[in-house]
Amino acid sequence: MKGRRSHFFSLLGPAILFLTIAVVIMIAVLVYAAADEAFGGNDALIAAVMLTVIVFFALLCIAIDAVRRKITVNGPVERILDATERIAAGDFSVRLETLHPYGRYNEFDAIIDNLNSMAAELAKTEVLRTDFISNVSHELKTPLAIIQNYSAALQDGALDAETRRRYAAVLAATAKRLSDLVSNILKLNKLENQEIRAERTPVRLDEMLAQAVLQYEDRIEEKGLLVECDLDEVSILSDPNYLEIVWNNLLSNAVKFTEAGGRVAVSLKRENGNAVVTVRDSGCGIPKETGARIFDKFYQGDTSHAQEGNGLGLALVKKVIDVLGGEISVESEVGKGSAFTVKLRGGDA
Ligand SMILES: Nc1ncnc2c1ncn2[C@@H]1O[C@H](COP(=O)(O)OP(=O)(O)O)[C@@H](O)[C@H]1O
Ligand SMILES: [Mg+2]
């Protein structure tokens, strides 16, 4: 429970009850003494006076208690009930005021506080859900438009063979982009729902990284990039399928965001029992304002490269590293380059 409950309030109820009983007994004793003096000897009259007094006080107490309950119990219960009905109907903007200031909370305040948090949490999830749907729809629309346009163009019988080949290549690349998008969304979804658990098998990180770099050989050659690898021999216990997602995304970003003739450096060291991988590039760099958002889903900082990728890469990388038990950090300077450092626990293997 978030709000601290005051013990004072939990003692107040019984104290009032016992005090009321004491007052009633005292009044009864006083009335008895007065009646005994007034009607001494007439027991029936004394009994009648006592009965009337007791009934009167009982009714008075019931009335006072009813008013008290109306104010302290029924009022808040009705407000809470009303709020839960609105939340159940999908209105997550509901916020109730607590009855007492923080620190003097009673049970109702604690319930109200939790209810407010629940509504706020639901509202946040709802925003994430609608954002996600509009992002996915947007990411699907662009490649679908390309596919529509190019396939329509291909139907033109007058096209020469070379142009046809080019258009077909665009179609294939676009279809691949769509399938990457869908598989990234599925992977992210699985990771977020914790549907899959990471395995822990011995992994030779240096070999893995060298393999990952080789996969980008063509693009590296195309752009005339200089690639340096400084890989110590390091093995850890981890999940190779997950790790592949991390290296592929970091390397593809480094290659993508570095101008032709630039430099990419990959290093692997063991530091204090952690495996530390750094992917450094001499590319366009990341401005401070966008740096905080690069791990968000669908966030793409540099719109000039927005044709490639869909902004899910680093979100996936971050999730994977969380699952594997590690950390990722970025250092970057606009125009000079970026360095992504991944620290992995996972023990010596
Ligand atoms: N090595 C890098 N150099 C410069 N900017 C980068 C680099 N890596 C990531 N970014 C920025 O972070 C954003 C998010 O990256 P990512 O999630 O991989 O999406 P995508 O690659 O699809 O654009 C990129 O759009 C880019 O603005
Ligand atoms: Mg990327």
Q: How is the chain split into domains, by residue range?
A: 7-122, 201-344
Instruction: Return the number of other C-beta atoms located less than 10 Å from residue 57's C-beta.
Output: 16
**Mean pLDDT of the region 226-240:** 95
Q: Which of 257, 277, 279, 319 to mutate to test the pocket of ligand 1 (most atoms within 8 A of CB)?
A: 257
Sign of CA dihedral 311, 317, 319, 322: negative
CA distance 291 to 332: 8
Residue with the smallest CA separation from ligand 1 atom 25 is 300
Contacts of 205 (CB under 8 A, 6+ apart): 231, 234, 235, 236, 243, 268, 275, 277, 344
CA of 130 to the centre of ligand 2 (A): 23
Contacts of 151 (CB under 8 A, 6+ apart): 171
Main-chain phi, psi angles of 233, to 5 degrees: -80, 110
- Given this model, what pLDDT does residue 347 score? 61
Task: State percent of the chain over pLDDT 90.
Answer: 57
Which of 334, 203, 197, 336 lies closest to 268 in space, CA to CA? 203
CA of 253 to the centre of ligand 1 (A): 6
Sign of CA dihedral 140, 143, 149, 154: negative
Residue 100 has pLDDT above 80, yes or no: yes
Reported confidence tier of residue 5, pLDDT bands at 50, 70, 90: low
Sign of CA dihedral 239, 240, 244, 247: positive
Tokens 């000897």: give the residue.
Answer: 41
Structure tokens, 131: 């954002």
Per-residue model confidence as pLDDT tens digits over 143-184? 999 999 999 999 988 889 999 999 999 999 999 989 988 988
**Mean pLDDT of the region 22-26:** 88
Which of 207, 315, 317 lies closest to 266 in space, CA to CA? 207
Residue 294, ligand 1, Cβ within 6 A: yes
**Mean pLDDT of the region 239-258:** 94
Q: Which of 253, 318, 342 to mutate to test the pocket of ligand 1 (most atoms within 8 A of CB)?
A: 253
How many degrees, rounded to 5, is the angle at CA 57 between CA 7 and CA 29? 95
Tokens 């480094």: give the residue.
Answer: 254
Q: How far is CA 309 from the centre of its chain?
A: 24
Per-residue model confidence as pLDDT tens digits over 124-149? 988 888 888 888 898 899 899 999 99
Residue 302, ligand 1, Cβ within 6 A: yes
CA distance 210 to 206: 6
- Given this model, what pLDDT does residue 17 score? 84
Mean pLDDT of the chain: 89
- Given this model, what pLDDT does residue 3 score? 46
- Given this model, what pLDDT does residue 158 score? 86
Contact indicator for 301, 315 with CB cutoff of 8 Å: no
Ligand 1 atom showing the smallest separation from residue 258 Cα:
3
- Given this model, what pLDDT does residue 61 score? 87
Ligand 1 atom showing the smallest separation from residue 309 Cα:
22
DSSP string computed for 169-184: HHHHHHHHHHHHHHHH
Architecture of domain 201-344: 2-Layer Sandwich (3.30)
3-state secondary structure of 332: strand
